[in-house]
Amino acid sequence: MTSPQDDRLDISARKRDHLELCAGDEVAFRRKSTLFEEVELVHCALPEMHADEVDSSVELLGKTLRAPVIISAMTGGTDEAEAINKDLAQVAEELGLAMGLGSQRAMFERPETAASFMVRDRAPNMLLLGNLGIVQAHAMSTQQIQDLVGQVGADALCVHLNPAMEIVQPGGDRDFRGGIELLARLVEELELPVVAKETGCGLSRFVGERLVEAGIRHVDVSGSGGTSWVAVEAHRAEADQRALAEELWDWGIPTAASVLQLRGLPLQIIATGGMRTGSDVIKAVALGATAGGLAAQVLKAHKAGGIDGARDFLRGVVRTVQALMLLTGSSSVDQLRRAPHILGPRLQRWAP
């Protein structure tokens, strides 16, 4: 693990730490779940369709996915990350899914790491999401950001919001002013769509409304219940910062609750944060999301079985999505969003 004083000087080392921790089981939320267990879809015993008639395709950010599944942002900036990113991009291309890159800050500050984010040679057609932190974006010109995402051939830019992670990170940012103004500027000036993305703590109705006012039309809730990025930094912090990280380990809005909070706003919602199965994806879409993203489970599958392991896992996710669409009587994703579902009391409390 890197020391706090070296942390800002060696982004690649920090990314290696993140990969190692996220592939393990020691950074999960302790007392908080995604609340997807509080969503029950109603079984349809008379679906009146052939299983092959199920159309799981969905439109997102100008491209068509064969299923509402995204390989969520994970990594970049190291040789290991390059191999992982290229493998996962190839699988996404084969299966007609989308993929998000890890933070491109490393690529901007250390151009020699750019190759770890370059995946278009393996996935020329897939929906690819670039990624940059809001504080870092604030310090860059629009043209610098455009060049950064253009270099990797991204179709959209995720601007990640991560104040909880930053305040416990060794050498982390402390000044979060001007975020809304920055997002409004990027929506106006960038040549590609902007996605406002949290990093494990979720988006509230209040924040969703402010994002809409700024012109944002796409969000990634990245709610709590899966990997706690505060916990990731707790393992890397020392003394007072570690104590604070322990206190904030379970901070955040559960993923299902965040989707529910944003329902009805003029937003395309990507649901990430603790998504483990096709069932989670289906429940997120039924609550109002356009697609669901998985990260840690894909990383674990790749670690266990390489590209074949990741491919097999994601094929299973897609099969589950399509099976549950049939079993809810939904021949399309639009019908799935109208399918009856029941919310448990803990999740109902989050409804706006």
Give the Cα separation of 293 and 92 in Å (integer).
Answer: 12
pLDDT at 52 over 60: yes
* CATH number, domain containing residue 62: 3.20.20.70
pLDDT at position 15, please? Answer: 52
Average pLDDT over residues 324-337: 97
pTM: 0.91
Q: Is 222 helix (H, G, I), strand (E, B) or coil?
A: coil
Listed range (9-18, 114-123, 149-158, 184-193) with the worst mean pLDDT? 9-18
Beta bridge partners of 71: 99, 294
pLDDT at position 5, please? Answer: 43
Give the Cα separation of 64 and 125 in Å (integer).
Answer: 10
Q: Which two tokens stand for residue 57?
A: 């395709």
Higher pLDDT, 74 or 165: 165
pLDDT at position 63, please? Answer: 97
Q: What is the pLDDT of residues 228-282, one digit of tens each?
A: 878 787 776 677 778 888 888 889 999 999 999 999 999 999 999 999 999 999 9
Give the Cα separation of 269 and 256 in Å (integer).
Answer: 11
Q: Which two tokens stand for residue 130?
A: 């670039």
Q: How sure is the predictor about 169, in pLDDT bands with cuts at 50, 70 and 90?
A: confident
Q: What is the pLDDT of residues 170-193, one digit of tens each?
A: 788 889 999 999 999 999 999 999
pLDDT mean across residues, the chain: 91
Q: What is the pLDDT of residues 277-319, one digit of tens each?
A: 999 999 999 999 999 999 999 999 999 999 999 999 999 999 9
Average pLDDT over residues 214-223: 98
Q: How sure is the predictor about 199, in pLDDT bands with cuts at 50, 70 and 90?
A: very high
Question: Whole domain around residue 120: which residue ranges?
Answer: 4-27+34-348
Q: Is 316 helix (H, G, I), strand (E, B) or coil?
A: helix
Q: How sure is the predictor about 16, in pLDDT bands with cuts at 50, 70 and 90?
A: low
Higher pLDDT, 235 or 217: 217
pLDDT at 18 over 80: no
Q: Exposure of 206 by Cβ count < 10 A (0-12 exposed, 13-18 middle, 19+ buried)?
A: exposed
pLDDT at position 24, please? Answer: 52
Instruction: Look at strands 98-100 and 58-60 and give their pairing.
Output: unpaired
pLDDT at 138 over 60: yes
Q: How many CB atoms neighbour CB 167 within 10 A? A: 17
Q: How many CB atoms neighbour CB 316 within 10 A? A: 13
Q: What is the pLDDT of residues 93-129, one digit of tens each?
A: 999 999 999 999 989 999 999 999 999 999 999 999 9
Contact (Cβ atoms closer than 8 angstroms) between residue 260 and residue 288: yes
Q: How many CB atoms neighbour CB 240 within 10 A? A: 9
pLDDT at 349 over 80: yes
Number of domains in the chain: 1
pLDDT at position 166, please? Answer: 87
Close Cβ partners of 237 (under 8 Å, ≥ 6 residues apart): 4, 168, 169, 170, 244, 245
E strands in the chain: 39-41, 58-60, 63-65, 69-71, 98-100, 127-133, 156-161, 194-198, 218-220, 268-271, 291-294, 341-343
* Backbone φ, ψ for residue 305 (5° rounding): -135, 15
In the chain the first and final C-alpha atoms are separated, in Å, by 42
E strands in 61-203: 63-65, 69-71, 98-100, 127-133, 156-161, 194-198
Instruction: Look at strands 194-198 and 156-161 and give their pairing.
Output: parallel
Higher pLDDT, 26 or 136: 136
pLDDT at position 20, please? Answer: 54
Give the Cα separation of 279 and 275 in Å (integer).
Answer: 9
